[in-house]
Amino acid sequence: MSQHDMNIANQGFPAFRSDLNNALVALASTNNGTSAPSTSFAYQMWVDTTTASGNILYIRNSANDGNIEIARINQSTGKFIFSETAQFEDGSAGAPSISFISDADTGFYRQGANRMDGVAGGTIGFTLSDTGVVVNENSENGMDFRIESTNDASKFFVDASTDQIIVHNGTSISIGGVLSEYQINATDNAQGTSAFTRFSADATGHSIALGKSRAATVGTYTVVQDNDILGSLDFYGADGTDMATKGASISARINGTPGGNDLPTELVFGTTEDGASAVTERLTISNAGHIATVSGEASTSSTPVALTGQTGSVSLNFATGDNFHITFGANNITTLAVTNETAGQSGVLVFTQDGTGGRTVALSASDFETASGGGSPAITLSTGANAVDVVPYYVRASGGIVLGAPILAVG
């Protein structure tokens, strides 16, 4: 304990010298002790040494009637901890107000109201404000941003100079002639596998959504047009020189005229044949469910379009499906016509007699032709009550639907 009342009394020289030395020791040791100095002065500083792990530095207030705690001094750890707030000048990027003796342009400073910037070498690396945290603000000189893990020096890397985000590797790769801004560049199975799981007590699973608008402004929904690509999965492989040649693709393409809550779309599958450098369309699934190969052969969903109680003039809309189940009403079908047929389309027409039987069907000569050719197209059906006949067909061209021989009385 080194404290003194700072009052040097009139006394002989040896006593005077001792008293003066004690006062100087008290000043030099910041009046430390387990209690406040018995004689105090305004703005006097002293250290409470009651607890070694938490010495407290005080200063007397201007009225000299109380102590103001400044900081805690931990003798065990050598830490100096401010008890209250500490305030600094605003500073600047080149001379931050909180910096280091050997690195004066690295630290923190206040750029404006409710904003603090962290700088390195005078360049802003991140900003903390009342609107959030920004790393590499684009109005400043760009700095790379990297998150490391134990075994990955570039687990997540933002290249400021190229505006790219790269996972697992800081090396940027061009694929398909495009330097993608978002890349996952892997070197093993774990890095090269992306897993999406959902745990919920319902029937819904994960969804990967790809969207397209004709507008050039984000958030503006200009309607897409026929043949626009909504999204695609493209597959590339290194060919010994680069990774610019596409090997296969699956894409969603508008197949009709879109409107409000109406988006007719087809799926297109393509592959690159041996010796070629471009993908060729191989198979499409139209908006009506037609499956067409590159050779024009087609089929659709096996689920038939059910038409019951049919008599008189009947029209089959081939855009709604390939397979039709037609049940007679209490009379004959006097004209069977077709609309929206597609070359290469194929399927079956199933005819079911009513409870009376003996109903007939007359074919439109502008739509149908029989495999045997010649004359007006016609088919002969079973006459029994509730008899079921199956007639296969193939669309040779628009207005040229070729009927095969009926398979009679299948049920």
pLDDT in tens, 356-385: 999 999 999 999 987 666 557 889 999 999
pLDDT of amino acid 125: 86
Say how far apart CA 37 and CA 340 lie, in whole Å. Answer: 104
Average pLDDT over residues 239-250: 94
Q: Please name which of 79, 70, 81, 109 lies closest in space to residue 93, comparing C-alpha atoms.
A: 109
Give the pLDDT score at 357. Answer: 95
Residue 137, CB half-sphere, CA atoms under 13 Å: how many? 18
Instruction: Say how far apart CA 1 and CA 31 lie, in whole Å.
Output: 8
Residues whose CB is less than 8 angstroms from the CB of residue 150 and which lie 6 or more positions away in sequence, other chains included: none
Q: Residue 342 above 60 pLDDT?
A: yes
Buried b or exposed e, range 350-367, using 16+ CB within 10 angstroms: bbbbbeeeebebebbeeb
Residue 100's pLDDT is what? 92
DSSP lists the bridge partners of residue 135 as 126
Q: What's the pLDDT at 335?
A: 96
Q: Express each pLDDT in 52-78 by its tens digit.
A: 778 989 999 999 999 988 888 888 888
More confident residue, 329 or 300: 329
Ramachandran area for residue 122 (φ above 0: left; ψ -120 to 50: alpha; else beta): left
Which residue carries 């471009």 as its tokens? 278
Give φ, ψ of 242 to 5 degrees: -155, -165
What radius of gyration, in Å, describes the C-alpha atoms of the chain? 43
Would you state the pLDDT for residue 288? Answer: 78
10-26 mean pLDDT: 84
State residue 70's pLDDT score: 86
Residue 235 to residue 252: CA distance in whole angstroms: 15
pLDDT confidence bin for 349, thresholds 50/70/90: very high
CA distance 276 to 118: 54
- 215: which 2 tokens? 């507008």
pLDDT band at 169 (very low <50, low <70, confident <90, very high): confident
Single out the residue of 256, 399, 385, 245 nearest to residue 318, CA to CA: 399
Taking residues 255-266, what's their average pLDDT?
A: 94
Q: Per residue in 123-164, pLDDT tens?
A: 888 899 998 988 876 555 667 888 888 888 888 888 888 888
**pLDDT for 301:** 55
What amino acid is encoded at 236 in this protein? Y
Give pLDDT, residue 15: 84
CB of 45 closer than 8 Å to CB of 31: yes
Give percent of the chain above pLDDT 70.
94
**Cα(24)–Cα(45) distance, rounded to whole angstroms?**
14
> What's the chain's average pLDDT?
88
Beta pairing class for 182-184 and 164-167: parallel
Distances, alpha carbon 325 to alpha carbons 291, 298, 322, 388, in Å: 20, 19, 10, 10
Predicted confidence at residue 23, as pLDDT, reads 82
Instruction: Tell me the pLDDT band of 245, cut-offs 50, 70 and 90.
Output: very high
Residue 352: per-residue pLDDT: 96
* Percentage of the chain modeled with pLDDT above 90: 50
Q: What residue type is assigned to position 38 of the chain?
A: S
pTM assigned to the model: 0.55
pLDDT at 265: 95
For residues 334-338, give the mean pLDDT.
96
**Mean pLDDT along residues 350-354:** 96
Sheet with 67-74, strands from edge to edge, namely 45-48, 55-60, 67-74, 79-82
Kindly list the distances between the CA atom of residue 135 and the CA atoms of 1, 96, 124, 129, in Å, as whole numbers in the listed order. 51, 18, 9, 11
Angle at 110 between CA 106 and CA 115, to 5 degrees: 120
